[in-house]
Amino acid sequence: MMPLQTAIPLRGLAASGYSTDHRAERAYGWLLEQRLEDGTWPTGKAGEVYGYVAGYRRLAHSRWGCRSNTTASLICLALHPARRFSEEARRALDVLLGRGTREEQNVGFSVARIIGVEPHSGYLTYFAKFDLALILDLCWRIGANRTDERVDELADFIQEIQGPYGLWEYTPHPEASRWVTFDILRSLSSLDETTDWLSLEPRTPFRAYPKKQKRF
């Protein structure tokens, strides 16, 4: 079993208001049992062997943590009225913020997929695109604030790419721009600097596919 197999349907239930249903709570409990000691979720596990983590799914400071599985699990926690403030949610977000890349072309992809203009395709590749608008949404839901340099720089970057007419343009499907704009404005206005957010993740340059050192 992979955490994604539980996290994807659980996200739908939580978004529909069933996060505290006793059956959903069992799913949350199972997800937390799969969590690694470093606060991430693995690709999966067969016996004592963890699944392979491709470069695009790697996380800084985690050997077996998978970004797709961690993102899916974290979204579920962020949609729960109590668990979104848990240490497990905060730690996972802290690790995700360690990626620190700025893919402008992917901003708004998650919202575009929710409203149906982007296809719901892929499995391990479901979160292949690193959507900074999604990360910003998770920040305010979980309680991260702009006292964290990474959150502050993320918010500044998002504001810098705002279009001249006040919209964040989603170029692949311009019809999604107003929904992307609404989502980003909600996130920016909801960042609360009075939360007790504390980062424990050291800042480290991240590359999905680091260059291998030559032997000679």
Instruction: Dump pLDDT digits (tens) for 32-88.
Output: 999 999 999 999 888 788 899 999 999 988 999 999 999 999 999 999 999 999 999
**CB distance 69 to 176 below 8 Å:** no
pLDDT digits (tens, 9 = 90+) for 1-36: 799 999 999 999 999 999 999 999 999 999 999 999
Task: Give burial (CB, 10 Å; 0-12/13-18/19+) of 84.
Answer: buried
Listed by start position, the domains of the chain span 1-99, 101-196
Indicate the SS3 state at residue 67: helix
Give the span between the Cα atoms of 13 and 65, in whole angstroms. 25
Count other Cβ atoms within 10 Å, centred on residue 172.
Answer: 13
pLDDT in the model for residue 215: 67
Residues contacting residue 4 through CB under 8 Å, at least 6 positions apart: 68, 69, 72, 123, 124, 126
Give the span between the Cα atoms of 64 and 62, in whole angstroms. 6
